[in-house]
Amino acid sequence: MKLTGAEIFVECLKEQGVDTIFGFPGGAVLNIYDALYKAKDDIRHILTSHEQGAAHAADGYARATGKVGVCIATSGPGATNLVTGIATAYMDSVPMVAFTGQVATSLLGKDSFQEVDITGITMPITKHNYIVKDVTRLADIIREAFYIAKDGRPGPVLVDICKDVTAAVTEYEPKAPRKHEEAPVGVSKSKLDGAAAAIKEAKRPVLLVGGGVGIANAGEEVIKLAEKLKIPVSATLMGLGAFPGTHELFTGLIGMHGTKTSNLSVSQADLFIAIGARFSDRVISNVNRFAPKAKIMHIDIDPAEIGKNISVDYPLVGNIKKILRYLTDNVDERDYTEWNRQVNEWKAKYPLKYAQDSVLRPQYIMERIYELTGGEALITTEVGQNQLWAAQFYKYSFPRQFISSGGLGTMGYGLGACIGAKLGRPERKVINIAGDGSFRMNCNELATAVEYKLPVVIAIMNNHALGMVRQWQNLFYDGRYSSTTIGGGTDFVALAKAFGAEGINVCKPEEVDDALKTALSSKDRPVLINFEIDMDEKVFPIVPPGAPINELIDE
């Protein structure tokens, strides 16, 4: 059958099983929006307040569901407004396809109105990108974009479509989506046997769960290996939830803001097994003093990560699930050892803690959120202190539960991601943990949440400061607070009400539960809670820059 490019666009989305797309219209995508209007019973379009919000919403949708997130923007500024969201998805390996409109092919390269080279701009932050100048290639490019976004290590793909292509007519033939073949083990039997032997010989092994474990749906395999060998398990920020936070073998976060137990365990380990992790600077800190007594085993789907940041003794590149199954089947079950006793001693001696007094503490707020949601909510975060309090004091028990910008550290990420996560998982309570600085960046997406009657909760840890930067200025810059104090001029409760949301102000610990219960009971509109906390509240532990991770400041 003959269809326009815009109609082909819609049909290809249907082929791929897309039911939700986030975006903002404009001149270069008018034909596409006309086609989306006609297909509104099949594809739900969510009009965000800003294109960056559309990218973050698509990202949050993808992280919460495991599906490919989809967003769309017009040419020029619409396209460039997606860039931060695309980079956020790229750094955290999130499958996303971003569509942008482009000026007509006859106007390319002429500094035409709202023309920008978005493929050139996004080349370093996408797995692949395309500019479509020929309608006969459109369908196959869209299909390929979705395949690439999910294949291997996931990530974002951008498709830039010239406006005349969306109006041109060509033959369209439906096709079923290309299936992803299960990745092979990818590692020779001799290497696997060598790794299994190293695990059997280790007296003080430690497991690190990274974001790749959740992406690969390999959480069960990690649990079986850890339980069979009684190995202590730590997690990166992106790995939270892939191993249950309530499990007796779990020691908590690792690295700059890791628990003292996790960081001491790594520093004393004789075998360090990293699974689906990048060995980022926030994990290893001083590379020359990281895991100084340990052999390093690195299991990952992406060969580019092996040896990139740290030398590896046992590189295992391939299918994480299959590798873990082989290792589990080829090691002997182990009883609890002196090493487990030592780690448990550290856990008892060095728990995460905070002052127990009459002051409203963010750590207490997070604990109450955990208790009142039964540990079942999806948590999105902004970036800064709020992100770390959410990571430390909410126990994540299943994959895709903790949704946060880890690699890029994008302030303003959380509210858009919260909207996407709620639309993807409407049966779950979804709570965005925010700081006042991050919230101000993309608070306009409250209008989106109100428009679509989304009962999400926004919990602002309002310290009237850019808290994490202020903390660094306090600890490492002799208290020179340069441009980190935010005045009290913005009334977030009034702002929420102006958008049509509900707003609640909380200043005392005894007010926390009632506010949260009210917010969690909302059925059809967002609720913002403004928690007034102290300006000098800090995230501990923290590893000073350049120090090894076992040298923490914990108070």
Positions marked active-site: 51, 113-114, 163, 468
Whose tokens are 């099983």? That residue is 17
Give the closest residue to 197 by CA, choosing from 93, 20, 100, 326: 326
Are 97 and 49 spatial neighbours (Cβ–Cβ below 8 Å)?
no
Give the closest residue to 42 by CA, choosing from 3, 71, 14: 14
Are 71 and 58 spatial neighbours (Cβ–Cβ below 8 Å)?
yes
Give the closest residue to 461 by CA, choosing from 543, 551, 377, 535: 535
Distance CA 136, CA 102 (A): 17
The enclosing H or E element of 34 equals: helix 30-38
Give the closest residue to 207 by CA, choosing from 238, 174, 165, 250: 250
For the CA atoms of the chain, what is the radius of gyration? 24
Question: Using CA atoms in the order 222, 224, 230, 232, what is the torsion angle rounded to 10 degrees?
Answer: 20
Q: Coil, strand or helix: which one is 18?
A: coil
Distance CA 235, CA 276 (A): 10
Q: How many CA atoms lie within 13 A of 219 on its CB side?
A: 19
Q: How many CB atoms lie within 10 A of CB 48?
A: 28
Peptide bond into 541 cis (omega under 30): yes
- Specify the DSSP class assigned to residue 394: S
Distances (CA, A) of 8 to 47, 141, 146, 157: 21, 11, 15, 18
Distance CA 134, CA 132 (A): 6
Whose tokens are 């020691």? That residue is 251
* Amino acid at position 352, single letter: L
Beta strands in 48-184 (DSSP E): 69-73, 96-102, 128-132, 156-162, 169-171
Whose tokens are 């083990």? That residue is 185
Pairing relation of β-strands 69-73 and 2-4? unpaired
354: tokens are 């905070």
Are 69 and 94 spatial neighbours (Cβ–Cβ below 8 Å)?
yes
Are 202 and 326 spatial neighbours (Cβ–Cβ below 8 Å)?
no
Are 406 and 92 spatial neighbours (Cβ–Cβ below 8 Å)?
yes
The percent of the chain in helix, strand and coil, each rounded to the nearest 5, is 40, 20, 40
Q: Coil, strand or helix: which one is 535?
A: coil
